[in-house]
Amino acid sequence: MRTGVWPGRHALQAVLMYVVLQPTLLLLSVVDFARVFPASGERSLPIQVVLLASKILRPGARGAGETLGDVLVWESVLALQGVLLTQAWFTLRMSAWHTMAQGHELRETKSQLHARRMPFHQQLEHMVFSSTSLPILWMAALGGIVLGGAPVHTGYLGTAVLAAYIALLALWPVVHVLGAPPSQEWAQLLMAPWSASPRAVLAYVPALGTCAGAVLGSAALALDWGRAWQTWPLPSVYGALAGLLVGNGVGLLLSMGKMYGSALFALPPPPPSNEAPSAPLTRKEKRRRARQA
């Protein structure tokens, strides 16, 4: 049975969430625009809006620390609140989008699709319930980072901060959308990831990009440049954020290719035949054909 395709409006919602809204909110969370823009002078309305959003997403005192590296690490800690709020919203919206995408793939009717729509308070309840898994996801990320060689005795604060970023950016959305393993979708992902549904691809590719970016970013620690941004865990945090953005783009391309490419190149059904069906043979005709054979 051929699966249905996502409507253009549904696909556009995914593009807006992955390419515009989530990256913008993460940028406002991670970058301290209150330090970027001058404190004095007349500010335009867009700059005032950006500063207000940055202050909401990044509370706390700025500039704490003896060195610039310590300041940047402290700012990454302050940014965790904005990252948490951003990912909470993103997880909530992505779960609802994922549910509707499944209905479109199953070619459900309008009434069936309408029944899939969950009231906002129920979505919020599910999101709050899944947020209780964050300590477990943080410990899982912490264990993976420590096994990968992250410092425990000297840079334990940086290791804990990086584990929080991995749990929020990579693990929480994919677990909330696909469910906690073991499940049917997880079994399919582990056994045959190339045959995963387009919506599953859109869920796990950004998570893989986040983890890969954190690993690649740690390579900057080996460089003897003495830059402030090389302070642990900043290279891995920045790499995780960059990997998430790259994973969003790659996930969109792969999912759209699987969805619309399969529909575009699928073989059309055979045309109906115009020939009238032949009448059944009589006994006399069957005996005549048997003698001729």
Tell me: the pLDDT tens digits for 20-45?
999 999 998 888 777 666 656 677 78
Residue 123 in domain: yes
Q: What is the mean pLDDT of the chain?
A: 84
Q: Among residues 230, 283, 269, which one has the least CA distance to residue 69?
A: 230
Task: Kindly state whether residue 37 falls inside one of the protein's structural domains.
Answer: yes
Q: What are the tens digits of pLDDT across the range 89-99?
A: 999 999 999 99
Task: Summarize pLDDT for 160-197 with one digit per residue, the tens.
Answer: 999 999 999 999 999 988 887 777 777 777 787 777 88
For residues 61 and 53, give the distance between their C-alpha atoms in angstroms, rounded to a whole number: 16
Residue 140 lies in a domain: yes
In a domain, 2, yes or no: no
Contact 57, 28 (CB under 8 A): yes
- pLDDT-derived band of residue 147, with 50, 70 and 90 as boundaries? very high
Residue 42 counted as domain residue: yes
Residue 150: φ, ψ to 5°: -70, 145
For residue 111, how far is the Cα from the chain centroid? Answer: 28
Higher pLDDT, 14 or 68: 14
Tell me the pLDDT band of 205, cut-offs 50, 70 and 90.
Answer: very high
What does the block give as tokens for 247?
A: 């994973």
pTM (predicted TM-score): 0.83
Is 187 inside any structural domain?
Answer: yes
For residue 246, pLDDT over 50 is answered with yes
Say what the pLDDT of residue 15 is: 95
Residue 237 domain flag:
yes
Residues 215/239, Cβ–Cβ less than 8 Å: yes
Q: In this model, does residue 217 exceed pLDDT 90?
A: yes
Parent domain of 18: 8-264
Whether pLDDT at 102 is above 80 = yes
Cα gap 121→208, rounded to integer Å: 30
**Domains identified in the chain, total number:** 1
Counting residues of the chain whose pLDDT is more than 90, the rounded percentage is 39
Q: What's the confidence (pLDDT) of residue 41?
A: 63
Sorting pLDDT into bands at 50, 70 and 90, what band is 149?
confident
Q: Is residue 168 part of a domain?
A: yes
